[in-house]
Amino acid sequence: MPKIGLGVLFAKNDQEVENAVVSALESGYRKIDTASAYENEEGVGKAIQRSGVPREDIFLGTKVWNTEQGYDTTLEAFKRSLGRLQTDYVDLYLIHWPVKSKYKETYRAMEEIYKKGLAKAIGVCNFSMDQLQDLMEHSEIVPAINQVEIHPHYSQPELLDFANQHGIQLEAWRPIMMGEVLKIPELVEIGNRYNKSPVQISLRWLVQRGVAVIPKSVTPKRIKENINIFDFELSKTEMDVIEGLNQNRNLGEDLSHIF
């Protein structure tokens, strides 16, 4: 899986998401992250067709939403996602939130999808260590991915250690704090040394920690800048400075308990 991908949360299911995905693929991205709940899978599918990039060269991931969870309903939701994306497989299928009463049977359906080769990898989003442990005790396949909120103010070191111990890849959503990283002086200062933006510094810090990233943008200039993080390396001191910014401050809501 590529270390960086394009996230399309809030991108409208029209020319906006299509143009963003095409721009990303033209800029060298090869991972696209969408979800049933984003209501833009159709646009993503159209963009992939329009881009001319071979489907097998693209790492495409989507997610089952909370109201779709359960064994049979997950299988049905997955078929709908394939149809909207105009593909006969996905590279990654994820549980969007850990709905307590349903995530085990949802994952059981996903294991069947994986065994049939319809998803090349399966995983979860927004799972705590306890929830991951519970899921692994009741399933055959260790989740390949746990996609969670991670950024300089919410670095989640314990979850990262746990994931590394169990061979689970962490992937960061909201990695640039909806633009708030631009106002963090330490990131500005480090960025000036490398002629990079605080956004690029934040993304580079995450990748060097072994965390994959899916920054969201619909602006071609920013999409191109976001992937331009592989021509420099942060020092251990700089990594430690950014690690020290942690406030255990999450910006997102927990949507796992409202269904």
From the list 46, 48, 87, 84, the residue with the least C-alpha distance to 68 is 84
Q: How far is CA 141 from the centre of its chain?
A: 20
Q: 123 in helix, strand or coil? A: strand
Nearest to 57, CA basis, from 35, 30, 84, 34: 30
Q: Look up 103 and say whether it is catalytic.
A: no
Q: What is the DSSP letter of 116?
A: T
Report the C-alpha gap between 9 and 23 in whole angstroms: 16
Q: How far apart are CA 227 and CA 38, in angstroms?
A: 22
29, 38, 93, 114: the catalytic one is 38
C-alpha to C-alpha distances, 114 to 120, 140, 230, nearest whole angstrom:
6, 11, 32
Distances in Å between the Cα of 157 and the Cα atoms of 3, 5, 105, 153, 247 are: 18, 22, 29, 11, 12
CA 116, CA 11: separation in Å to the nearest integer?
31
Vertex 69 angle, CA 86 and 174, to 5°: 75
CA distance 239 to 208: 8
Where in the sequence numbering do the catalytic residues fall? 38
